[in-house]
Amino acid sequence: MNFYEHQDRARKRTKIIVFLFIIAVLMIVAMVVIPVGLISEWSPGAIVISAVFCLLIVGISTLVKLGQLNGGGHVVAEMLGGTQLQRTNNNSSEQKVNNIVEEMAIASGMPVPPVYILEDTSINAFAAGWTPSDAVIGVTRGCIEQLNRDELQGVIAHEFSHISHGDMRINIRLIGVIFGIMALGITGWIFVRHIGPIILHTSSRSRSKEGAGGAGIGLAIILFGLFLVICGAIGTFFGRLIQAAVSRQREFLADASAVQYTRNPGGIGGALRQIGGIAEQYSLAKESGQCNHMFFSQAVSSIFASHPPISERVARIEGIDTASLPDQVDVQTSSGHEQISGFSSTSVKTSVQEASAIRDKRIIRARFTINNISPLIRESLENSWSARLVMFSLLINAQDKKQQKLLKSALSDNELVELQRLLLLVNKEEESSRLPMIDLASPALKQLSNKQQIVFTKTLVDIIKSDAEVSRFEWVLVSVIKKHLTGNSLQKLSKGANKKIRSLSSDVILVLSMLAYSGAENKEQAGIAFAHALNEVGLKDKEICGVNRCNMESVHSALISLCSLLFVEKEKLLRACGVCVEHDGVITVAEAETIRAIGDVLDCPIPMIG
């Protein structure tokens, strides 16, 4: 099963979560309504009020929690007490995890996710976010200090698989669902610990009949609060049950994907053996209970385990008999050297089919590409101030007077001096390093304030429009950067991602026409490339668009509409794009960048081509 099938299956699993949530809420409402009905002799008013009361608490709590988490993965990481790792520092363990995350992101065609560290001695990790663009990777201190590079790479690969499989979106929604179900118990404790005692204390200071009546009300509120606490405890039971039902099989899949990504079963297997050899792994913050399903291994103790047994996970990874493993797996680390073997393909079609499958040779190539970028540029990509200037350097022409005038009005004198220094360095870099530089800049650019991001993207657009023409790379750069910065904004547009190509055929034709023209020497060649691509998506007898219609703004608008396609339909479209650029037997860097940008806009990461 590939990325696209995983994504569509993830959407179906979301429906299962909603179904289980409704069942759990109905059971909780029944637990409240039945006793109220018995006490009130089944008064319709009392029953309706108690039912509405429960539904409001659960519903509002769920919506509020999801609203808090709408900001993306960094919100979850900060909720768990994580702090963002600096891109470069003197701590070799921290730098090791940063390097692994960068390599795997570049190899898979994803923006580099920020890394958060949880100051905890247990070995654990998580991925959080709505889409790859707003994802973060979280690791505990124990994870980065106790695991060797192979083991840490296996754990990070496991988390990247959650990103590519669409599990993060499910996980965040599950946090909201569990919090909503637990909210009844929280409300009960508020009645027991605060509201009831306050009324009792106020009443005790009065000797009047009103005071005695107030004491009775206070006592009744405390008893009702205790009743809600009991209902909340049962609700928590259902929440943990949902957590376990949704999470366990996805962990097996993520383990298998980690082995597929790295070609090294000993890496993730060694990490699991380390965890299995440590008696106590439940030392994370109390908020971890809501997020237990997100972690690499069980974060809190529960009668319903959100993860399969360590021994079974190790057995599946290493292909051994489960019965031969003890309940507590002995510590046995993997070998210190990297085990690297596998394959890579130059075909766009293969890259689309293997979207987000981070093959070992792609990791090697990503590592080579990163190391081949000038150290001075890499250093500049690690903070938001200079990362902006590197992005400007990728666009500007030192001889263009309009651009120079625009930059003088937008930048300070210090920034202009630094920009000139960076421009000389960037011009010496190979074309193939342009997209990796954009990806490496992603964590730093995300640290800009909303106002700074608006000014930055506006300056980029102004630079591009200064010559009244948008080149292909200019469109690529702005599209990828906007996607990196906006994160889950397009996710809202694609909530109803259930359309098929035929229903959006005019947008598909426009995108394929643009690619056909850009890779052809004449209209006849463009027509041949277009016809082959059209056949790939199952459309026939359609005319190629006029070349004047194929401007980048129109294409971008078409791609926004195509975000509502089913993921398996997006796969067809991207394969058709590949056919377009491969028709002449040569894939240029510009064509590979365009395919990657199209994939980014559609929320479909494309691994390195070549």
Q: State phi, psi for 84 to the nearest 5 degrees.
A: -70, 135
Query: What's the confidence (pLDDT) of residue 345?
Result: 36
Is the pLDDT score of 145 beyond 80? yes
Residues 6+ apart with CB under 8 A from 102: 112, 366, 370, 440
Asked if residue 421 lies in contact with residue 579, where contact means CB atoms within 8 angstroms, the answer is no
Residue 521, amino acid: E
DSSP 3-state of 355? coil
Query: What's the confidence (pLDDT) of residue 53?
Result: 84
Instruction: Determine the average pLDDT of the residues in 585-609.
Output: 82
Instruction: Determine the average pLDDT of the residues in 586-606.
Output: 84
Query: What's the confidence (pLDDT) of residue 37?
Result: 82
Per-residue pLDDT tens digits for 282-312: 445 555 556 666 676 655 555 455 566 677 7
Specify the DSSP class assigned to residue 164.
H
Beta bridge partners of 127: 137
When the pLDDT of each residue in the chain is averaged and rounded to a whole number, the result is 78
Specify the DSSP class assigned to residue 195.
I
- 419: tokens are 């920009």
Q: In Å, how far from its chain's centre is CA 572?
A: 23
159 is catalytic: yes
The span from the CA of 494 to the CA of 166, in Å, is 13
Alpha-carbon distances of 152 from 81, 267, 452, rounded to whole Å: 21, 7, 35
Whole-angstrom Cα Rg for the chain: 27
Q: State phi, psi for 83 to the nearest 5 degrees.
A: -125, 140
- 91: tokens are 């701590």
The span from the CA of 590 to the CA of 596, in Å, is 10
Confidence of residue 343 (pLDDT cuts 50, 70, 90): very low
Is the pLDDT score of 55 beyond 50? yes
Q: Which of 330-344, 376-390, 522-536 has the highest mean pLDDT?
A: 376-390
DSSP string, 516-536: HHHT-SSHHHHHHHHHHHHHH
Query: What's the confidence (pLDDT) of residue 440?
Result: 92
DSSP 3-state of 128? strand
Query: What's the confidence (pLDDT) of residue 116?
Result: 93
Query: What's the confidence (pLDDT) of residue 341?
Result: 26
Q: How many CB atoms lie within 10 A of CB 216?
A: 13
Domain boundaries, the chain: 355-481, 492-601
Query: What's the confidence (pLDDT) of residue 491?
Result: 46
Q: Which residue, among 479, 458, 432, has the nearest Cα to 597 in the 3D structure?
A: 479
Asked if residue 335 lies in contact with residue 585, where contact means CB atoms within 8 angstroms, the answer is no
- The more confident residue out of 252 and 106 is 106
Confidence of residue 504 (pLDDT cuts 50, 70, 90): very high
Per-residue pLDDT tens digits for 519-532: 677 888 888 889 98
Q: Which of 26-35, 349-358, 402-411 has the highest mean pLDDT?
A: 402-411
Alpha helices (runs of H) in 40-140, residue ranges in sequence order = 44-68, 73-79, 92-108
The interaxial angle of helices 310-318 and 209-262, nearest 10 deg, is 20
Beta bridge partners of 295: 126
Query: What's the confidence (pLDDT) of residue 510?
Result: 92
Beta bridge partners of 305: none
Query: What's the confidence (pLDDT) of residue 291?
Result: 66
DSSP string, 397-466: -TT-HHHHHHHHHHS-HHHHHHHHHHHHHHTTS-GGGHHHHHHHHHHHHTTS-HHHHHHHHHHHHHHHHT
Classify strands 125-128 and 136-140 as parallel, antiparallel or unpaired: antiparallel
Q: Which of 228-242, 341-355, 427-441, 446-460 has the lowest mean pLDDT?
A: 341-355
Asked if residue 605 lies in contact with residue 109, where contact means CB atoms within 8 angstroms, the answer is yes
What pTM was estimated for this model as a whole? 0.72
Q: State phi, psi for 588 to the nearest 5 degrees.
A: -80, 165
Q: Which residue, among 494, 442, 465, has the nearest Cα to 601 in the 3D structure?
A: 494
Is the pLDDT score of 331 beyond 60? no
Instruction: Determine the average pLDDT of the residues in 140-148.
Output: 89
Per-residue pLDDT tens digits for 549-578: 888 788 888 998 998 888 888 888 988 988
User: Which of 102, 151, 159, 569 is the catalytic position?
Assistant: 159
Diameter of the chain by CA atoms?
99
Beta bridge partners of 139: 117, 125
Beta bridge partners of 128: 136
Residue 291, amino acid: C
Confidence of residue 420 (pLDDT cuts 50, 70, 90): very high
Q: How many CB atoms lie within 10 A of CB 341?
A: 8
SS3 letters for 472-502? HHHHHHHHHHHHHHHCCHHHHHCCCCCECHH
Is the pLDDT score of 386 beyond 90? yes
Angle made by CA atoms 557, 560, 566, in degrees to the nearest 5: 140
Confidence of residue 378 (pLDDT cuts 50, 70, 90): very high
Residues 6+ apart with CB under 8 A from 403: 396, 397, 463, 466
Beta bridge partners of 137: 115, 127
